[in-house]
Amino acid sequence: MALLEVSGLTKQFGGLTAINDLHFSIETGELLSIIGPNGSGKTTLFNLLTGTFRPTSGAIIFNGHDVTRSKPHQAARFGIGRTFQKTTVFKAGTVLDNVVIGQCLHADTGVLKAILRPPSTSRTEQQVTEKARDILSFVGLGDKENTMADSLTEEAQKRLSIAMALAIEPKLLLLDEPTGGVNLEEIDGLMALIEKVRESGVTICLIEHKMRMVMSISERVLVLSYGLKIAEGKPEEVAGNKDVIKAYLGGKYAA
């Protein structure tokens, strides 16, 4: 059974169809890239998978559970983590604070416990902090835990956003342009981190415009254009697909 199965997924905004009858799946342990021109529906798809948007029709089955109508916190609890195209961190907090906040989804520290502060709460807080430090070390920010998030470079903020997503212990990690805004010298380091995350047992689906990266790390590539799937397959198959070339470069290049 696939980890994620999407069938007939459609999202309409008034008269605009952003996602149109989309069918695809992701296997456990796979790295699938989603590409397409700007406005093709890629981020809308991520918003549907994580409960930010409700689909107009269709179904999303994740790890055997119907999550079609799940809210974002429910999708996270099922094991779907994500980053955003615009790097989103809590800039007023430290690097460590950011990862601790991400872990709160799994910490058993309700309001009553926070007020009464029984011994178990202190133990949980210690465990959460230790886990956060482990995650920061994993993403290469172990020496930055007391640094304010707003003072990090864009590349380091990308690493922090991945750490925050890993804090919920996802089975599937959705990465929305994980190398956007970083310089060419830093891309290889982020690619290596993504591979490291995958090797740790997390299935990955990413949106990316940098074709060198897509072609080098993906097992499969799915191509969207105006909300429609126009191609799907191995990187080398997709790279030579005339419909893909036309969508990106115009009809004369596909002739």
Q: Which of the 8 DSSP states describes residue 58?
A: E
pTM across the whole model:
0.90
Ranges 51-65, 112-126, 132-146, 157-171: which has the least confidence: 112-126
Q: In what order do the strands lie in the sheet with 57-62?
A: 16-26, 4-13, 57-62, 65-66
Query: For 94, which DSSP code?
Result: B
What is the residue type of 40? S
Q: Which two tokens stand for residue 155?
A: 């590349």
Tens digits of residue pLDDT in 216-231: 999 999 999 999 999 9
d(CA 98, CA 251): 46
Domains present along the chain, CATH in parentheses: 4-81+172-253 (3.40.50.300)
Q: What long-range pairs does 181-184 form, CB within 8 A, spacing at least 24?
A: 181/87, 181/154, 182/154, 182/155, 182/158, 183/155
Please, what is the end-to-end C-alpha distance for the chain in angstroms? 39
Yes or no: say if 128 and 107 are a contact pair by the CB < 8 Å rule.
yes
For residue range 59-109, list pLDDT tens digits in order.
999 999 999 999 998 999 999 999 998 877 888 899 999 999 877 755 444
Hey, what are 142's tokens? 């172990």
For residues 124 and 118, what is the distance between their CA atoms, to the nearest angstrom? 10
In this prediction, residue 118 carries a pLDDT of 52
